[in-house]
Structure 1
Amino acid sequence: MTGYTRPETLDDALALLAETGGRVAAGCTDLFPATDARALQGPVVDITGLAGLRGVALTDAGLRIGAATTWTDILKAELPPACDMLKQAAREVGSIQIQNAGTIAGNLCNASPAADGVPCLLALDAEVELASAHGVRRLPLEDFIVGPRRTALNPGEIVTSVHVPRSALEGRSRFLKLGARRYLVISIAMVAVRLVVEDGRVGDAAVAVGACSAVATRLPQVEAALTGLAADHTLADAISEDVVCAVLSPLDDIRATAGYRGHAATELLRRAVTDAVGAEGGS
């Protein structure tokens, strides 16, 4: 590896990126497999020494997750029930070794259609904070991931944190995924559901699906269909496969046909909604 640097401050890291156009390295669980070389080709800017980029904090404004926060960190964090789906997804990210090293920002920047964390963060109305030598900006997650393996990152820019507004930390949530086997699998379909129940009815719903289309996506039509209904065992009946498929336009590839993906996503959503209602009723 040539041109490897490990800065100790964010300003130094941003200056190096502006000067060298280097590649950002953190957990490297996606970065290493993506190269055909025996080592990463420089210049490489290793951000694991930036203490301010790691950790989970709950504030009056909401939840801040540092870019270098690992999936194990998320599993250990004290989070409200609305984030249960994010913890459930964290348990599904590769092996324990991958969870110990892989970072939340790496999951986003890799921009895989099957990234486990993305549907959950979409259902949490997450925003991505980006920094460069020219300043800081925020983007809604849905605007940050623009296609398979493509993001809105500008040259010299890095993700510094993920933000969830306080308003999205209400309710109960559930994450489910389907793959060809139980562990260490790329999903055929995955869903994240967050429900806010008020006086026995769904006051608000957030629904997202991943691994079924070019990018993970929210399903506002399904959310609207759920809102206002009784939060009981009949709620799942409001989720129409025709509506789900119309919104997703499911992929047809080597892992599954479009028809199978649409059916699987619908069934997973029905199960996730039923689970979330059950969790709400048991609280």
Structure 2
Amino acid sequence: MPTYTQPLKPLGGHLKIVEIFETVQGEGKYAGVPSMFLRTGACNLECAGCDTKWDRWSEMPYAEAAAIVLDHKSSHLVLTGGEPTLWQPQLGEFLEVLDTASESQPANFHTVTVESNGAVPIRAGAFLNRVDLWSFSPKVGTLGREEYFHWEVVLENLRLTEGQNQLKYVLDPNVPEDVDRVFKFHEQAQIFVPDEFVYFQPYDTETLVNILHAPGLDDITSYLRRLTALTKLVAERSEQRFRVLPQLHKLLSYR
């Protein structure tokens, strides 16, 4: 599977799209908000335990993608992946098309969130200027490999998006070295993100997949135990500064 480290070349009015769907945002400051998700293809990482499909896509014209988004009532658009920041020029152009198409439907003006691992440099331009919220989820040991951390790139992206970002750390409470690594990194990151926009989330992909496809009491109980353990750990390490949240959409058996 190919991996990438820089934004890719424009496609001439098309996006590589895996899927577009309506659901409930399950993470961060907009948790619980009905949202349209546009999932782009390709990723710069190959993380262990990745729970999304991003390596099969179709090329879709901007206008067609905008029409699908506008055909739904959700006014919150989430650009996710894969890794959407690989497609910054294209997504900037797409959002211009979407905004133009929305002019005749003022109620459909969209708040735009980008979900990113933070390991691709964010470029100045129309895309950066149009996005309302940058949601960064840096990868740590249980989710990737040592060479995937890219802390310097993540820090620069946080600096560039200061005032419009949030941080989500996905951690296994049973892997203390990952917990130590994240808190050490956050000593540098904290100057760019207010405490109220820093979220911790338990890592337990297998249980979450079971909940999503065939929810059972044992799976939910297992996940809640990890959530409880992480909540206690973060409270102890951070003097109760940060929030620990589940993936709400998966507990609700949503996509």
Q: What is the TM-score when the length of structure 2 is the normalising length?
A: 0.27
Structure 1 or 2: larger helix share?
A: 2
Identify which of structures 1 and 2 has the higher relative contact order when contacts are C-alpha pairs closer than 8 Å and 6+ apart. 2
TM (norm. structure 1) is: 0.25
Larger radius of gyration: 1
Q: Which has the higher strand share?
A: 1
